[in-house]
Chains A and B, each alone.
Chain A
Amino acid sequence: MQPKQALLSFDQSPPLSAPLRFFLTAPLFLVLAGLLVAVEGEALFASRWTPAALAATHLLTIGFMLQVMLGALIQILPVLAGANLARPALIAAIVHPGLSLGTLALAVGFLAGSTAWLYGAGLLLAISLLVFIAAAGWAIFRVPSTSPAIRGLKLSLLALAIAGGSGLFMLLALAGGWAVPLPALANLHAGWGLAGWSGILLAAVAYVVVPMFQLTPGYPARPAWWFPVAVVLALVLWSISVLLDADGLARGAQGLLALSGVAFVLQTLKLQSGRRRARADCTFRYWQGGLYASLAALLMLLLDAFLPALSTAPAWPLLFGVLILVGGFLAFIIGMLYKIIPFLLWFNLQHQAAVPGKPVPSMNKLLDDGEMQRQMRTFFAAFALLTAAVFQPDRLALPAGMIFALAGGWLGWNLLQAALRHRRHRLAGTS
């Protein structure tokens, strides 16, 4: 066995620091978003268009979600698709600081209403996205779509280009005072970013990791092939409806989008119920919570397609945002981080940085289950408080923001502890 095992050298695996730097700094943006909610309080919940709401949303979507997603893709493209990024360390060295500083500048630009900060943010984010999309596109579009996961990765990358491009266009319009229909464009931008990029990417990754990590049956092939296509089709129809000002088409597209999402969520819940792993670990719980919160958000989207009067209530889009972003995507991503990080650190010690004569600590020793459980309970308490704060912001915005910042900081602390344990083990072997 040994000679063949040794061939599993993962010589094309990127250096550990390439994904890890994204994972370790991303939780800081959760802390910032939580503090912003606490400080701005009731004013932030007045509408989704307040500067504070826009800043908080982008701290979550770019600062946390996009950072983790890009860091994870740098690591797992070879595993998901057999596609290798060229120069992953260099890409990470450009994209990571660009995204981090760009997000901070964007938040300052929104909050201060400063065109200089907005232009600076636009430049940093544009460079980061261009570098990543070019590098990942070069890798992924050269492999054939032999699985639904690969098809999903390709379409999600296209959606990222559209979400990023439309975001940058709006940023320039906002800073330059151009006369463009910002609310309609912002809805499209959010649709391509959340459903197109994040939703399709989540599904593509889920096709592989849900059966692998949660020991469930696999996703049936036909719906798995069609889900990414249905989402892109709905988004294209929606975009056309905005250009043509065709309300009926917009509602049909929104309905198709919502139904596609509901089908994926119900399928995943069904798979989870057939899992072979008896113990419900943190990843499973985070995903379960994320699926139910997403289901609620998608049903809101479906209702809104047929009863558009509902979404004119100011609380409606805010509630939708909290459910889909915090309850849904954040929960999925944190659940994944709690699997990926211990595995990466363990794998690095086992295969790439083995210390002779020193047994490698187990994944559970690198990141303790109890620590994750306590952080998870805090996160879901913050989610519940944020949901309630949509209706009672005067009383609940402050505690919701503080508990959310605590949950984000705790996540960062847990991940940092795991990285430090890994480092101590390595250093013990060299001293």
Chain B
Amino acid sequence: MEFPAERTVDARFMEPPQPFVATMEMLDTLQPGEEMLLLLYREPHPLYRVLQQNGHRWQTELQPDGTFAVRITC
């Protein structure tokens, strides 16, 4: 899943709640319809719930190295 670095939050070595905060901050900078990528080593179920409440769409892919790549549409 190729994505520009400025639209990617690589949260794989961040402690909670940093991945959540960084994702929400990036979403705040996007226009409706724009996309971002979140990378981390677990499925972010609590984040999914917030994304759903805020009306965002997302698609998750588990990569061979154990990274969950979550493509979020603002």
Contact = CB atoms under 8 A, between A and B. Distances in A.
Interface of A: 1, 4-5, 7-8, 10, 12, 78-82, 146-147, 149-150, 207-208, 211-212, 215, 217-222, 224, 276
A210 to B, nearest CB: 9
A17 B27 CA distance: 35
A220 B15 contact: no
A5 B49 contact: no
Interface string B11-50: 0110111001100110110000000000001110110111
Contacts of B12: 211, 217-218
A224 B65 CA distance: 10
A8 B67 CA distance: 23
Interface of B: 12-13, 15-17, 20-21, 24-25, 27-28, 41-43, 45-46, 48-50, 53-54, 60, 62-68
Nearest to B23: A4
A220 to B, nearest CB: 5
Given A7-B53, A219-B66, A222-B64, A80 B24 contact: no
Contacts of B66: 211, 217-221, 224
A276 B46 contact: no
A221 B45 contact: no
A8 B63 contact: no
Given A1-B25, A217-B41, A219-B41, 18 more contacts: A1-B21, A4-B28, A7-B50, A7-B53, A7-B54, A10-B46, A12-B49, A146-B43, A146-B62, A147-B62, A207-B42, A211-B41, A211-B66, A217-B65, A218-B65, A218-B67, A221-B64, A224-B66
B1 to A, nearest CB: 14
A212 B16 CA distance: 7
B45 A82 contact: yes
A208 B62 CA distance: 13
